[in-house]
Amino acid sequence: MKLVIFYEKPGCATNTKQKKSIRDAGYFVIERDLLNNEMDKEMLYEFVKDKPVHEWFNVNAPKIKSKEINPLSFSKDEALELILKEPILIKRPLMVIGDNKICGFDSERIEKILNIKFQTKVSTECSSKLHFCPTSA
C-alpha cells in the first residue's frame, strides 16, 4: 500500500497543500496532529536525527520569530525536551514513509523515496531552513 503518515499542525495551509501533492501522486495520507501527539524523546529523535539540532525548529514559531528562543543555543537533549514540551516549535511536517522518518518537507527527498515527480512546485514555507549565523547570540 502507498501510505504516508503525516504529522501536521491542524489548519496549516502549507501542510494542506503538501498533503494534496502527495495524494495527487497516488498515495494515501494518514493525518496526525503534531501538537497533540504521543511521541516520546526516542520517537521524535528518529525524525530529526539526520539534521543539525537548530534545524529541528520551526522558524515560523512565535517564540523563535520573536527571538525568545534561539535554536542555536540547545544541545540535542535540551532541544528534544523543549520541542516535546512545546510542539509548535517542531519543524513540520514530520512524515513516515515506509522505513523513512522525515522532518520538514524536502521535496527532492520525498520524490526520491516515493519514486515520483511532483506535478507542481510544493510549498515548504512552514518548514523552511533556518538561516541563523552560528556565531550570533
Q: What is the pLDDT of residues 13-71, one digit of tens each?
A: 999 999 999 999 999 999 999 999 889 999 999 999 999 999 999 999 999 999 999 99
**Residues 6 or more apart from 54 whose CB is under 8 A from it?**
71, 72, 74, 130, 132
pTM: 0.86
Let me know if 12 is a catalytic residue: yes
Q: How many CA atoms lie within 13 A of 89 on its CB side?
A: 24
| Statement: 3-119 belongs to CATH 3.40.30.10 | yes
Sketch the domain layout of the chain as residue ranges: 3-119
Name the catalytic one among 12, 103, 126, 133: 12
